[in-house]
């Protein structure tokens, strides 16, 4: 279907939360810099009545249709409708399920939302989130040894959002700010069990982020050492020197998204776990 004004409609239909669809769709859409998708997300579509509303909206705003539906009747109706109004549709998990079935020699159970059951892995993520929220921004440093990962860095190096992202992956993450002139908590310097990762960014990037932060708060940044070029450069140098002293891995987040930063940390953590001798 042709796009209009560099926009196109993207319909994401799921019988669960829709997270899988959104992730795949955005990863592909990001490869097309000149067009922007208008997302229509339909989670928890599990009945004919719910599907009717979705079909009406697809007909009203035709575009690409991606879906993760397990109920065969719903799949058939959706595919038939798309063919009837001449819009492309694709099951995101269908080909993968067929591959699994062929290799394993067994059919799927057809359980909707099976990846979201309240199992041990789920409760591990909840525990990690609770831990991470309590140990954000240098709070409760007495519990740092219970972390899987401890992030350190100067202000505005994305320590908190990265910590939360890691916690959603089941990794208990604490973060501690590094501030020149303020002693680092003794508990941090003596850690042996958790992986400590130092997040860094260029002074220019930190100044930009900090200025935007102050503007969003309606504060005046003029004359403030928080955004002063020399002061910020000294902060970065202090953090790097401290990291080198303790041999903490350095990770430059200047041009990294939260997801990319977290992926790099998870690799460091995985490598460390794999190489650690059995206790």
Identify the pLDDT of residue 85.
96
Model pLDDT for residues 226-237, shown as the tens digit of each residue: 999 999 999 999
89 membership: H or E segment, kind and range: strand 89-91
Q: Which long-range contacts (CB under 8 A, 24 or more apart) does 186-192 make?
A: 187/141, 187/142, 187/144, 187/145, 188/141, 188/144, 188/150, 188/152, 189/246, 191/144, 191/145, 191/150
Q: How many CB atoms lie within 10 A of CB 51?
A: 22
Sheet holding 89-91, edge to edge: 36-42, 7-14, 63-68, 89-91
Going by pLDDT thresholds of 50, 70 and 90, the confidence category of residue 218 is confident
Identify the pLDDT of residue 115.
55
The pLDDT of residue 251 is above 70: yes
Task: Say how far apart CA 13 and CA 51 lie, in whole Å.
Answer: 9
The pLDDT of residue 276 is above 80: no
* β partners of residue 41: 12
Pick from 103-112, 209-218, 220-229: least confident: 103-112
Pick from 67-81, 90-104, 258-272: least confident: 90-104
Going by pLDDT thresholds of 50, 70 and 90, the confidence category of residue 183 is very high
The pLDDT of residue 156 is above 90: yes
| HSE toward the beta carbon, residue 90, CA cutoff 13 A | 10
The pLDDT of residue 279 is above 90: no
Model pLDDT for residues 106-129, shown as the tens digit of each residue: 776 666 655 555 567 878 889 999
Task: Say how far apart CA 242 and CA 183 lie, in whole Å.
Answer: 11
Task: Say how far apart CA 14 and CA 22 lie, in whole Å.
Answer: 10
Identify the pLDDT of residue 110.
60
pTM of the model: 0.73
């Amino acid at each position: 279907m042709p796009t209009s004004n560099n926009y196109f409609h993207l319909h994401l239909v799921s019988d669960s939360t829709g997270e899988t669809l959104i992730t795949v769709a955005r990863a592909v859409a990001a490869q097309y810099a000149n067009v922007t998708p208008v997302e229509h997300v339909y989670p928890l579509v599990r009945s004919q009545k719910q599907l009717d509303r979705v079909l009406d909206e697809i007909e009203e705003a035709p575009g690409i249709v991606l879906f993760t539906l397990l109920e065969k009747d719903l799949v058939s109706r959706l595919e038939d409708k798309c063919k009837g109004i001449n819009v492309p549709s694709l099951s995101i998990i269908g080909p993968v399920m067929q591959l699994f079935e062929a290799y394993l020699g067994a059919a799927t159970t057809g359980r909707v939302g099976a990846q979201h059951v309240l199992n041990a892995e789920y409760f591990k993520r909840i525990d990690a989130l609770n831990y991470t929220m309590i140990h954000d921004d240098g709070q409760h440093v007495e519990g740092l040894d219970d972390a899987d990962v401890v992030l350190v860095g100067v202000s505005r190096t994305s320590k908190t959002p990265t910590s939360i992202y890691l916690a959603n992956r089941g990794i208990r993450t604490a973060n501690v700010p590094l501030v020149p002139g303020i002693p680092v908590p003794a508990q941090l310097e003596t850690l042996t069990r958790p992986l400590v990762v130092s997040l860094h960014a260029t002074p220019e990037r930190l100044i930009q982020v900090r200025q935007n932060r102050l503007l969003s708060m309606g504060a005046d940044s003029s004359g403030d050492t928080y955004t002063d070029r020399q002061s910020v450069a000294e902060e970065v140098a202090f953090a790097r020197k401290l990291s080198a002293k303790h041999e903490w891995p350095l990770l430059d987040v200047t041009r990294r998204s939260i997801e990319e930063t977290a992926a790099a940390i998870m690799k460091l953590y995985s490598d460390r776990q794999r190489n650690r001798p059995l206790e």
